[in-house]
């Protein structure tokens, strides 16, 4: 298991005077113990998806032949994250990065294995709670409440969220329904709402690449700020540069398995070799 | 920390293993004294007081969490209600128009063509019909929304952390607000057929509260079932329509069955069903010509009993699977 095998290089503290608390008996914030996650997909059977085909399956194979396919998205991943770490998650599309984050957040129950966490990890993302038919104004309130902010907190931060998003820079757009926004505007508002909350363990799923250059700068600054406040940060990204800039440790997932776990430079070197860059 | 290193788990890549071993050689591998080496993940978690992510809270803790989310629940229900007609030109006017048109259709078919009133005075029958339709719709749409509460909002369930019962409760609350719009129409019809306000009108408040509690319990049960078996959403409309015809929405159960050779226990079962109880209580409260003789005995204890039973069973049943919503 990863935890047991974890080998500490900092037996000589002089080597890394600024190393986080792991050197002094690090305080773990997230422990994943042999986590397996399985998605069950209905109607995803091979072959024809027609009604007669479905009926055929039911008749022929009875209950065992139900149209369910299992997708084993994460296979036995174990690691321990410590306070003060920023951990990048890399891997090709569909390697289980986002799924693993959701499991850490306790949003997707593991099939086997356990995730232990300090406090309540939260995903940076609020998209699912927002409604396109509502005004930006109402969505700010709804999104804030959905993330678990109190009504007072939402009221207090409302103006800041709107200013940060820059939605009102080109007129009074916040009182229009969100479906009238351009995709960039909507993305900016979503990020602004999501980033308004403070988090213990923060997980960011490729949220950096939204909006125009100016907004990207602003959001990167906000993420650095969030990192300072948060105990541990997880960042999923396909952008090796943003991983290199933000993370000191990287987990590399491939086919749902933890392929490598180590310092950013080492893992990225192997990963780039693997992807043939 | 930047030097700490972890063995890969099930590495199959040959070239990768090579580079891995060279790396191992490069760093000092010596266990720290007094370190956490050798502790199992569970022991390590216990040592630092970590809790299991996504574990189900206790029943009391769950209630507390829900109470903490009350503003979200209310705001979410209002937002859903508002979003419903936001694309229509007449906008929120449809909140009132939809039930009105519904009542019109039922009146045309059952009142004028089929004469389901069975000799009931037309002045009583129309309010009777409209109250029946609206009050039953309240339960019906709560049930339908309940089935989809989890399965239709998987994105939300998988992205954010909140007690999942917020969703079915919020949907029931949305239906309650919808019903309040419909009640405007009810009052217009009741008044225009010569039923003047009486003190008994106030009785509809406790009745609607009880019905809301009943609906929420029902929605919680259906939400858990629907999260496991999404097919239920296809089946529910038929179940609910059967329930509607059996509950005396369009006709008075005793009047309809009185001349037929029907065992009395069937009449009892039909009348004691919760939908019929809440409907008849509201009819008695609002319509002068629909007296309490139409109610089964012990109707109030039954109304309260149904509400409390459904809410308690529904809440516990839903909570039991709290940690499993969102999978699949």
Supply the DSSP string of A220-268, one letter for each residue.
Answer: HHHHHHHHHHSSEEEEE-S-HHHHHHH-SEEEEEETTEEEEEEEHHHHH
Instruction: For residue B169, give the H/E element and its range.
Output: helix B166-192
Residue among B3, B53, B328 whose CB faces A106 most closely: B53
Distance CA B192, CA B194 (A): 5
Residue B239 has a pLDDT of 94
Q: Round to whole Å and give the CA distance between A64 and A67.
A: 9
Contact by Cβ (8 Å): B146, B219: yes
Contact status, residue B296 vs residue B302, Cβ threshold 8 Å: yes
pLDDT at A54: 67
CB A33 within 8 A of CB A258: no
pLDDT score of B237: 92
pLDDT at B214: 97
Q: How many CB pairs under 8 A join A and B?
A: 246
Chain B residues near residue A109 by CB distance under 8 angstroms: 54, 323-324, 326-327
Q: Looking at the complex, does the CB of residue B79 fall below 8 Å from at least one CB of chain A?
A: yes
Handedness of CA B194, B199, B205, B208 (dihedral sign): negative
If we measure between CA atoms, which residue out of B82, B228, B5, B54 comes closest to residue A249?
B5
What does chain A come to in residues?
277
Residues in chain A, pLDDT under 50? 1-24, 63-65
- CB distance A82 to A29 below 8 Å: yes
- Residue pair B216/B311 in contact (Cβ under 8 Å)? The answer is yes
Interface subset of B 215-254, CB within 8 angstroms of A: 230
Whether A102 sits inside 8 A of B158 (CB atoms) is yes
CB B195 within 8 A of CB B288: yes
Cβ–Cβ of A138/B159 closer than 8 Å?
A: no
Please report which residue ranges of B193-262 form alpha helices under DSSP H. 204-228, 232-246, 253-257
**A73 and chain B: CB distance < 8 Å anywhere?**
no
Q: Which residues of B, range 141-160, sit inside 8 Å of A by Cβ?
A: 153, 155-160
Please, which residues 256-275 of chain A have a Cβ atom closer than 8 Å to chain B?
Answer: 257-264, 266, 270, 274
Closest to B275 measured CA to CA, from B236, B248, B313 = B248
E strands present in A4-162: 28-42, 68-82, 86-90, 112-117, 122-124
Query: In this predicted structure, what is the pLDDT of residue B212?
Result: 97
B202 touches chain A (CB under 8 A): no
Q: What angle do CA A24, A29, A30 make, to 5 degrees?
A: 125
Contacts of B297 (CB under 8 A, 6+ apart): none
Q: How far apart are CA B132 and CA B277, in angstroms?
A: 11
- pLDDT score, position B5: 38
**Hey, how many other C-beta atoms are within 10 angstroms of the C-beta on B13?**
15
What sign results for the dihedral spanned by CA atoms A273, A276, B2, B6? negative
Query: Residue B162: which of A269, A142, A84 has the closest Cα?
Result: A142
Distance CA A241, CA B308 (A): 58
**pLDDT of the residue at A113:** 87
Q: Of all residues in chain A, what percent are helix, strand and coil, respectively (each to 5)?
A: 45, 25, 30
How many C-beta neighbours within 10 Å does residue A36 have? Answer: 16
* pLDDT given for residue A6 in this prediction: 38
pLDDT, tens digit (0-9, with 9 covering 90-100), for A184-207: 888 888 888 888 887 778 888 765
Those residues of chain B that have pLDDT short of 70 are: 1-38, 117-118, 327-328
Both tokens of residue A53? Answer: 């085909």
Residue B50 to residue A22, Cβ atoms within 8 A: no
Would the CB atoms of A28 and B328 count as touching at under 8 Å? Answer: no
Query: A87: alpha, beta or left, given left = phi > 0 and alpha = psi -120 to 50?
Result: beta
pLDDT value, residue B20: 34
Q: Are A31 and B50 contacting, i.e. CB atoms less than 8 angstroms apart?
A: yes
Question: How many angstroms away from the CA of A213 is the closest CA of chain B?
Answer: 27
pLDDT of residue A24: 41
**Mutate which of A24, A28, A120 to test chain B, going by most B C-beta atoms within 10 A?**
A28
Give alpha helix (H) positions in chain B.
Answer: 14-26, 41-47, 59-68, 70-84, 94-106, 122-151, 154-159, 166-192, 204-228, 232-246, 253-257, 264-272, 274-286, 299-319
Predicted pLDDT at A111: 84
Secondary structure of residue A12 in the 3-state scheme: coil
Give B-chain residues touching A84 at CB under 8 angstroms: 1
Cα A252 from Cα A275, distance rounded (Å) = 12
Name every chain B residue with its beta carbon within 8 A of the beta carbon of A147.
160
Tell me if B124 sits within 8 A of B154, measured CB to CB. Answer: no
- Asked if the C-beta of B260 comes within 8 angstroms of chain A's C-beta atoms, the answer is no
DSSP state of A205: E
């Amino acid at each position: 298991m990863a935890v047991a095998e974890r080998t500490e290089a900092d037996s000589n503290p002089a080597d890394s005077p600024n190393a986080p608390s792991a050197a002094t008996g690090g305080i773990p914030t997230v422990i994943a113990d042999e986590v397996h996650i399985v998605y069950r997909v209905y109607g995803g059977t091979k072959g024809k998806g027609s009604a007669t085909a479905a009926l055929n399956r039911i008749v022929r194979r009875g209950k065992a032949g139900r149209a369910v396919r299992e997708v084993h998205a994460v296979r036995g991943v174990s690691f321990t994250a410590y306070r003060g770490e920023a951990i990048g998650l890399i891997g090709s599309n569909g390697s289980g990065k986002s799924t693993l984050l959701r499991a850490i957040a306790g949003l997707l129950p593991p099939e086997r294995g356990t995730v232990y966490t300090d406090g309540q990890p939260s995903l940076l993302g609020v998209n699912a709670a927002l409604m396109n038919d509502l005004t930006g104004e109402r969505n700010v309130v709804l999104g804030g409440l959905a993330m678990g902010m109190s009504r007072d907190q939402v009221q207090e931060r409302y103006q800041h969220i709107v200013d940060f998003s820059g939605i009102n820079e080109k007129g009074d757009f916040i009182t229009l329904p969100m479906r009238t926004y351009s995709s960039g505007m909507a993305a900016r508002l979503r990020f602004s709402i999501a980033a308004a909350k403070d988090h213990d363990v923060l997980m960011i799923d490729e949220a950096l690449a939204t909006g125009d250059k100016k907004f990207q700068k602003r959001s990167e600054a906000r993420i650095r700020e969030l990192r300072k406040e948060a105990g541990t940060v997880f960042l999923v990204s396909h952008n090796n540069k943003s991983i290199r800039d933000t993370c000191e440790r990287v987990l590399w997932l491939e086919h749902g398995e933890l392929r490598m776990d180590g310092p950013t430079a080492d893992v990225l070197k192997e990963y780039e070799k693997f992807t043939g860059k | 920390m930047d030097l700490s290193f972890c063995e890969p788990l099930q590495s199959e890549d040959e070239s990768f293993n090579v580079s891995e071993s060279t790396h191992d050689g490069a760093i000092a591998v010596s266990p720290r004294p007094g370190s956490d080496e050798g502790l199992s993940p569970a022991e390590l978690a216990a040592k630092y007081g970590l809790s299991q992510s996504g574990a189900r809270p206790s029943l009391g803790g769950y209630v507390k969490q829900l109470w903490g989310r009350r503003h979200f629940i209310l705001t979410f229900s209002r937002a859903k209600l508002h979003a419903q007609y936001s694309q229509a030109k007449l906008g929120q006017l449809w909140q009132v128009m939809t039930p009105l048109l519904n009542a019109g259709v039922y009146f045309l078919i059952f009142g004028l063509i089929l004469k389901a009133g069975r000799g009931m005075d037309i002045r009583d029958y129309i309010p009777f019909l409209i109250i029946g339709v609206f009050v039953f719709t309240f339960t019906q749409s709560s049930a339908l929304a309940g089935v989809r509460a989890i399965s239709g909002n998987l994105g939300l369930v998988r992205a954010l952390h909140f007690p999942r019962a917020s969703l079915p409760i919020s949907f029931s609350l949305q239906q309650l607000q919808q019903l309040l719009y419909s009640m405007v129409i009810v009052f217009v019809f009741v008044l225009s057929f010569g039923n003047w306000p009486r003190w008994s009108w106030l009785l509809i408040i406790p009745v609607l509260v009880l019905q809301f509690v009943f609906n929420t319990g029902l929605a919680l049960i259906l939400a858990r079932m629907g999260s496991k078996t999404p097919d239920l959403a296809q089946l529910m409309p038929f179940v609910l329509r059967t329930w509607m015809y059996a509950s005396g929405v369009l006709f008075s159960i005793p009047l309809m069955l009185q001349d037929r050779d029907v065992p009395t226990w069937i009449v009892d079962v039909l009348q004691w069903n919760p939908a019929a109880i809440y409907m008849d209580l509201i009819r008695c409260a609002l319509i002068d010509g629909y007296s309490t003789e139409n109610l089964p005995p012990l109707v109030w204890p039954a109304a309260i009993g149904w509400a409390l039973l459904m809410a308690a069973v529904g809440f516990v049943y839903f909570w039991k699977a709290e940690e499993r919503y969102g999978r699949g």
